[in-house]
Structure 1
Amino acid sequence: MTLAETLGPARPGGAGTATVAVIGTGAIGRDLVAKIHRSPVLECGLVAGRNPDSAGLRYAAELGYPTTADGIDGLLAAPRPFDVVFDATNAMSHAEHWRLLEPLGTLLVDLTPSKVGRMVVPTVTGTRPQAGRNVNLISCGGQASIPVAHALAERFAIEYLEVVSTVASESAGRATRLNLDEYVATTQAALTAFSGVRDTKAILNISPAVPPANFRTAVHAVAPGCTLEAVRAVVDEAAERVRAHQPGYRVTACTVTGDRIVVALEVTAHSDVLPRYAGNLDIIDSAAILVAEQYTAGLGASATVPAVGSEAGR
């Protein structure tokens, strides 16, 4: 029996809903399925992986969703294209997934640091009509740091930006470890694109600490003439906007010493399947769900795709 026969005839989504699929059944994919399950507007039509015994496929099946161990081929065999596909695999695979899905008119939400699509940070980019249907969510460090870095660059004359993220070893899966170079390069490129600062650096640390430490990101900036009061006001406003879709996001410290700014951020996961320390996975998944739900709100009218302004992210 083919996958199309297993899934049955195409079932049209309800008004204001979108049928979605997830490629990738690691921790990110599993959490995406959990978030889709709770979404009032996203309907999970398929979860695709490569390992038939993966925890992600078992979890999706327990929730009653169709699964396939044929990866992208299984997704392409579905009876009709999905409105949205979440790619939770790796940067090397993403380009091929986009080549295959682009002709189908699907919105592809990329959770890998491939830098193939248009870079998106929801609280910074917002939504507007856009022809491109490949949305790149940069990295967990990018999602945590760029709202603050962008806000600081809008208010102060930033000469240098550095972002240091630390993730627990337990929350850094195989794809993350395969994509370390892409993670650093894509995060650094996004910092420059969204801040306008040419001199930037991105660093990722994987901590073996036991018990696992919460996901942390530190934003370092050089900005002559700023004050702690002004910096803190900007940072708190940016953080409050992020908390609208990621309640575990908080500022743990903010200091100004001479022309040097340091903002310490921590993200704890609010998830049905992730431990609290896996805020790195939760923040990028929460952004992905927000992008899909905003896109869904425009289906049947004038669909909108979150994208960066001007030339950033192209």
Structure 2
Amino acid sequence: MPLDLARLAPRTTAAREESNAAPKLRTAVLGAGMLGIDLARRLIGSASLDTPLVAGREGSSGLRQAARMGCVISTSGIRAVLDAHVDIVFDASSAEAHPAHWAELASADVMLIDLTPSSGGTMVAPTVNGFRVETHRHLSLVSCGGQAVLPVLNVVAKHSTVNYVEVVTTVASASIGPATRNNLDEYVATTGYAVRRLTDAATTKVLATISPALPAPAFRAQITALADGINRDALIAGVESVASAVRAFAPGYEVTALGVSGDRITATVTVAARGGCLPAFAGNVEIINAAAVTLAEGYANSRRA
């Protein structure tokens, strides 16, 4: 059962006034890199989430940018988050740091949304199992590649018996920072684990390419699956439907190619950044941050219901 995206659709004037009257949930972002700062910008524009506290490293240019955006900033990391008594914490730091963050927050009454590829928590994608925000407090968004391919693979798994899945992602070098580069092994392992869990495929392979090409290429994920009992028409219709659902929160999401030939299914997903100040090629940042805010707003709205 996916998250009810209708809750996040544009609302009437009366509904907006009612929403504005209700207290916003307090938020914090751990990490002041490209991911964390774009996420903070999105939170500032949310109708149900408050302007976040942003915690990062001393001397970070990202923290200075967050301050200019109106965020409270801190160099005290998880301690500042605990002292702020927030409702939702977004971890945009690193896979290595995340387990310690969860250990500190586990006894606090907070929702922790993990944007690092640490594999901790319940793995979630909004159109796949976004309803889990209502019952789970530690959510993993897997990876940017996971957010791109899991909606399509969920449809593939519903309309075939999957034996093998290969995912190849290509990201522009300019759209990733040091933490992402240091977490490539975790990215591959966590994305592969999520794909196996979702599809029940006996074998999976995940490859990641960082492209230095200029002009910078759009974020892209190529999916190849070998499967039995493929219901071709239902699969194609399902992929078209889920792509539309993802575009409700990530407008630059497209399934640009989809083919079924014998036991082979191929699909290409591209994501262009169309929200805020990101360059168009930074679809990797767009897809995971848009998913994070969508889930957090769904959680906030469920608390108001």
Is the TM-score greater than 0.5?
yes
Once superposed, what is the RMSD of the aligned Cα atoms? 1.8
1:51 to 40, 58, 66: 58
Task: Say if 2:159 and 2:230, in contact at 8 Å, map to a contact too.
Answer: no
Deviation of 1:233 (Å): 1.9
Task: Say if 1:140 and 1:283, in contact at 8 Å, map to a contact too.
Answer: yes
Task: Say if 1:16 and 1:296, in contact at 8 Å, map to a contact too.
Answer: no
Q: Distance in 1 between matches of 2:109 and 2:262?
A: 51
Deviation of 1:194 (Å): 1.3
Where 1:91 maps in the other structure, the secondary structure is coil
CA deviation profile, 1:287-308 (whole Å, cap 9, x unmatched): 100111111112266xxxxxxx
Alignment partner, residue 289 of structure 1: 293
CA deviation profile, 1:76-107 (whole Å, cap 9, x unmatched): 333xx100011000010000011111111111
The residue type paired with residue 21 of structure 1 is A
Distance 1:129 1:230, change over 3 A: closer
* Structure 2 counterparts to residues 130-209 of structure 1, below 5 A: 132-209=136-213
Q: Distance in 2 between matches of 1:201 and 1:169?
A: 22
Q: Distance in 1 between matches of 2:285 and 2:133?
A: 28
Alignment partner, residue 76 of structure 1: 82
CA deviation profile, 1:31-51 (whole Å, cap 9, x unmatched): 101100111111024111013
Task: Say if 1:168 and 1:277, in contact at 8 Å, map to a contact too.
Answer: yes
Q: Which has the higher helix share?
A: 2
2:41 to 21, 31, 34: 34
Where 1:159 maps in the other structure, the secondary structure is strand
Q: Distance in 1 between matches of 2:74 and 2:110?
A: 19
CA deviation profile, 1:213-247 (whole Å, cap 9, x unmatched): 00000111112454764442222122111111111
Task: Say if 2:159 and 2:231, in contact at 8 Å, map to a contact too.
Answer: no
The residue type paired with residue 287 of structure 1 is A
Q: Distance in 1 between matches of 2:149 and 2:256?
A: 13
Distance 1:131 1:294, change over 3 A: closer
Alignment partner, residue 118 of structure 2: 114
2:223 to 203, 208, 219: 219
Deviation of 1:274 (Å): 1.3
1:87 to 91, 103, 109: 91
Where 1:218 maps in the other structure, the secondary structure is strand
| % identical equivalent positions | 45
Q: Distance in 2 between matches of 1:299 and 1:225?
A: 41
CA deviation profile, 1:225-279 (whole Å, cap 9, x unmatched): 5476444222212211111111100011112233211101100012222111000
TM-score normalized by the length of structure 1: 0.86
Q: How many residues align?
A: 286
Task: Say if 2:25 and 2:49, in contact at 8 Å, map to a contact too.
Answer: yes
Q: Which runs of 5+ in 1 are unaligned?
A: 1-12, 302-314
Task: Say if 2:272 and 2:283, in contact at 8 Å, map to a contact too.
Answer: yes
Q: Distance in 2 between matches of 1:233 and 1:254?
A: 11
Task: Say if 1:52 and 1:68, in contact at 8 Å, map to a contact too.
Answer: no
Q: Which runs of 5+ in 2 are unaligned?
A: 1-19
Alignment partner, residue 65 of structure 1: 71
Q: Distance in 2 between matches of 1:176 and 1:45?
A: 22
Task: Say if 2:34 and 2:176, in contact at 8 Å, map to a contact too.
Answer: no
Q: Distance in 2 between matches of 1:85 and 1:129?
A: 13
Alignment partner, residue 251 of structure 1: 255
